[in-house]
């Protein structure tokens, strides 16, 4: 990206953001003492004009008293590219927990004005993130605390990353890559991070206590008392009913929410940044089947076929899954069909890459699609954003599917009348509810999905995130108390693959990261 394009993007964003920070600056009586203009920029490029332009923008919006700073990995090349020498912008560093900090702090001094280089680790890693299919990240409490003490005992400073673990609600989980763009590693919904303050706010753990002891040793004032853990509740099992198949929420023959083109369009080109896009085309039946290949898929696709001329209403039949990290071809079975066969490709955005060389991470189908090495042309694309349900349009077929008598809607379309077993691999919406009798019983809880396949959960219209216990390691989704309410609480699940045969989920009072094979080793950035 050119300097002018980068600057334009930042100017639009900062033009909205920075004025909101002015009342919160330290000199205005607020808590903000430093503002970071770039983060690890030296890992990506060497553009001093861009960095200086950021300084000008920040000073224009925030004034000349606030401390501006950058952070870069603690090696010379990164600091040379990502920092501005002198005293206009303070240069901080980050490095792996357990590295000897003081040679790195000595290097840091070279990029700051004399006497103006307080040793600062701007990202002291208390734990690490986890990707789907990995073992849950855990780091030793005592060694983490010992690494922090090496910094503090010589009057260095550190910003704990993370001090408080979190949750990737909705579709805001990120991803990383390995050796290349296809080596894609999407993050869990949980961002607990094995941080001293857990995802749910709990502090009764060895890491919190070990870090607190170190901080108390070097603090000039007594530390405040330790709060108790948040109360958790079990609200019992929640029984669900299937309300509608995902494909039944579309009128494929008369839809205004459709995009058409000769070749597939990325998700962003149809005005959608998160969620799913359904790609539809048709192809000629062929004895022995066909081979489907999508050279560039971001990130995961479930593939279905149907024969419109069949008497049963041409339900889409699941034929397989294609995943970005496998880049696999898929065999489509031979089907006797008196018309062209419909091909449905449901593509999920699993989270954008947020570190490394492949951060420009468009989603959807980014290449031509091939059947037996021949390009397939003539596509329809249906966006499925699945924001929080209460943020969508006045008439929302998904809300209708979840909360009202959707059977009346689909009964008027004879082609949709079809008895499907719960074991179907066709994506479907399920809903249920549970009651909380008293206001003082509204507490944090977790929803266990250990017997389900893969999908999305909404609680009271709020998207609490993805589940994928088949891949693991996360089994339960965190539900903070503010999402819940006294009285009836509604649960909606979009199950993409294999619902629990009993159609039940359980509310539990603790997290669980033991699902799936999760046998891969932990990847560190």
When pLDDT is averaged across residues 60-84 and rounded to a whole number, the result is: 96
pLDDT of residue 420 exceeding 80, the answer is no
Q: Which helix (H) or strand (E) holds 409?
A: helix 406-411
**pLDDT higher than threshold 90 for residue 156:** yes
The beta strands (E) that lie in 131-218 are given as 157-161, 166-167, 175-177, 184-186, 190-191
Examine the pLDDT at 424 and tell me if it is beyond 70: no
Percent of the chain with pLDDT over 90: 82
Q: Would you identify the CATH topology of the domain 263-377?
A: Jelly Rolls (2.60.120)
Nearest to 130 by CA among 475, 445, 462: 475
Question: Where does the pLDDT of residue 409 fall: very low under 50, low under 70, confident under 90, or very high at 90 and above?
Answer: very low
Report residue 383's pLDDT band, with 50, 70 and 90 as the boundaries: very high
- If one compares 257 and 502, the residue with the highest pLDDT of the two is 502
CA-closest candidate to residue 139, choices 157, 124, 159: 124
DSSP H helical segments within 163-239, as ranges? 206-218
Region 441-450: mean pLDDT is 97
Rounded CA gap, 523 and 50, in Å? 32
pLDDT for 7: 75
Alpha helices in 36-173 (DSSP H): 48-62, 76-82, 101-109, 141-152
Q: Are strands 317-323 and 67-73 parallel, antiparallel or unpaired?
A: unpaired
Give the SS3 label for residue 435: strand
Distances (CA, A) of 446 to 199, 441, 510, 511, 517: 11, 14, 6, 7, 21
In CATH, the architecture of 3-125 is Alpha-Beta Barrel (3.20)
Q: Which residues, in sequence order, are CB contacts of 172 under 8 Å at separation 6+?
A: 274, 351
| Matching residue, tokens 């977790």 | 446
Percent of the chain with pLDDT strictly greater than 70: 89
pTM of the model: 0.90
Specify whether the CB–CB gap between 330 and 319 falls below 8 A.
yes
pLDDT at site 110: 97
Residue 45's pLDDT band (cuts 50, 70, 90) = confident
3-125 against 263-377: fold identical? no
Asked if the bond preceding 337 is cis, omega within 30° of 0, the reply is no
pLDDT band for position 388 (50/70/90)? low
Which of the residues are catalytic? 40, 123
Instruction: Give the chain's mean pLDDT.
Output: 90
- Which pLDDT score, from 0 to 100, does residue 475 have? 98
Model confidence at 414, pLDDT cuts 50, 70, 90, reads very low
Distance of CA 77 to CAs 51, 84, 108, 523, Å? 16, 13, 12, 23
Q: Is the pLDDT of residue 392 over 80?
A: no
Q: pLDDT band at 416, cuts 50/70/90?
A: very low
Strand (E) or helix (H) holding 20 = helix 3-21
pLDDT value of residue 481? 98
Q: What integer is the mean pLDDT of 124-135? A: 98
Give 357's pLDDT tier (boundaries 50, 70, 90): confident
Residue that is written with structure tokens 């000073």 in the block = 59
The span from the CA of 121 to the CA of 200, in Å, is 26
Token pair of 255, please? Answer: 């839809």
CB atoms within 10 A of CB 371: 18
Mean pLDDT of 319-342: 94
Report the SS3 class of residue 496: coil
On the question of pLDDT at 95 being above 90, the answer is yes
d(CA 304, CA 246): 12
The closest of 468, 488, 473 to 235, measured between CA atoms, is 488
The residue with greater pLDDT, 298 or 393, is 298
Helix and strand numbers (H, E) in the chain are 8, 30
Q: What is the pLDDT of residue 386?
A: 86
**Neighbour tally for 426: CB within 10 Å:** 21
pLDDT, position 309? 78
Q: What is the pLDDT of residue 230?
A: 94
Which has the minimum average pLDDT: 32-46, 239-253, 310-324, 386-400?
Answer: 386-400
CA-to-CA distance for 348 and 364, rounded, in angstroms?
Answer: 7
- Domain locations along the chain: 3-125, 236-243+388-508, 263-377
What is the C-alpha to C-alpha distance for residues 522 and 525, in angstroms, rounded to an integer?
Answer: 10
- Which residues, 6+ apart, have CB-to-CB distance to 13 below 8 Å? none
236-243+388-508, CATH topology level: Jelly Rolls (2.60.120)
pLDDT interval class at 412 (50, 70, 90): very low
Q: What is the pLDDT of residues 224-273, one digit of tens each?
A: 999 999 999 999 999 999 999 999 988 887 778 899 999 999 999 999 99
């Amino acid at each position: 990206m050119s300097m002018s394009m980068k600057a334009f993007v930042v100017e639009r964003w900062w033009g909205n953001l920075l004025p909101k920070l002015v009342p919160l600056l330290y000199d205005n009586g607020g808590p903000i003492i430093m503002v970071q203009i770039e983060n690890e920029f030296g890992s990506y490029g060497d553009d001093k004009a861009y960095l200086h332009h950021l300084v000008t923008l920040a000073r224009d919006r925030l004034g000349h008293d606030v401390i501006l700073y950058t952070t870069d990995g603690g090696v010379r090349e990164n600091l040379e590219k990502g920092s501005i020498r002198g005293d206009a912008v303070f240069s901080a560093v980050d490095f792996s927990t357990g590295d000897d900090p003081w040679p790195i702090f000595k290097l840091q001094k070279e990029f700051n004005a004399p006497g103006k280089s307080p040793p600062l680790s701007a990202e002291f890693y208390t734990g690490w993130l986890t990707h789907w299919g990995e073992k849950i990240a855990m780091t030793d409490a005592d060694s983490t605390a010992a690494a922090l003490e090496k910094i503090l005992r010589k009057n260095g400073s550190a910003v704990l990353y993370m001090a408080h673990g979190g949750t990737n609600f909705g579709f805001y989980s990120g991803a990383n890559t390995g050796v290349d763009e296809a080596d894609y590693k999407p993050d869990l919904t949980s961002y607990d991070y094995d941080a001293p303050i857990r995802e749910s706010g709990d502090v009764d753990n060895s890491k919190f206590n070990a870090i607190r002891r170190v901080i108390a040793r070097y603090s000039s004032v007594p530390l405040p008392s330790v709060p108790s853990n948040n109360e958790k509740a079990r609200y019992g099992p929640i029984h669900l009913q299937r309300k509608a198949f995902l494909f039944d929420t579309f009128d494929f023959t008369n839809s205004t929410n459709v995009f058409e083109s000769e070749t597939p369009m990325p998700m962003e080109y149809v005005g959608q940044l998160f969620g799913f896009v359904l790609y539809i085309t048709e192809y000629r039946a062929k004895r022995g089947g066909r081979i489907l290949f999508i050279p560039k898929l971001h990130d995961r696709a479930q593939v279905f076929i149907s024969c419109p001329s069949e008497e049963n209403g041409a339900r889409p039949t699941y034929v397989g899954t294609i995943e970005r990290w496998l880049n696999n071809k898929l065999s489509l079975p031979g089907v006797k069909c008196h018309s062209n066969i419909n091909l449905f490709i449901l593509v999920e955005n699993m989270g954008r890459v947020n570190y490394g060389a492949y951060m420009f991470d468009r989603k959807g189908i980014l290449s031509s699609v091939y059947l037996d090495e021949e390009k397939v042309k003539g596509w329809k694309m249906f966006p499925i954003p699945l924001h929080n349900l209460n943020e969508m349009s006045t008439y929302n077929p998904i809300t209708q599917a979840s909360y009202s008598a959707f059977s009346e809607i689909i009964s008027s379309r004879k082609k949709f009348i079809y008895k499907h077993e719960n074991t179907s691999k066709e994506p479907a919406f399920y809903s249920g509810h549970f009651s909380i009798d008293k206001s003082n019983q509204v507490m944090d809880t977790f929803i266990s999905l250990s017997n389900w396949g893969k999908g999305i959960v909404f609680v009271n219209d709020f998207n609490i995130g993805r589940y994928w216990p088949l891949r693991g390691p996360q089994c339960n989704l965190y539900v903070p108390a503010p999402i819940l309410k006294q009285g009836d609480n509604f649960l909606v699940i979009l199950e993409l693959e294999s619902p629990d045969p009993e159609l039940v989920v359980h509310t539990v009072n603790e997290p669980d990261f033991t699902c799936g094979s999760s046998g891969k080793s932990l990847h560190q950035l």
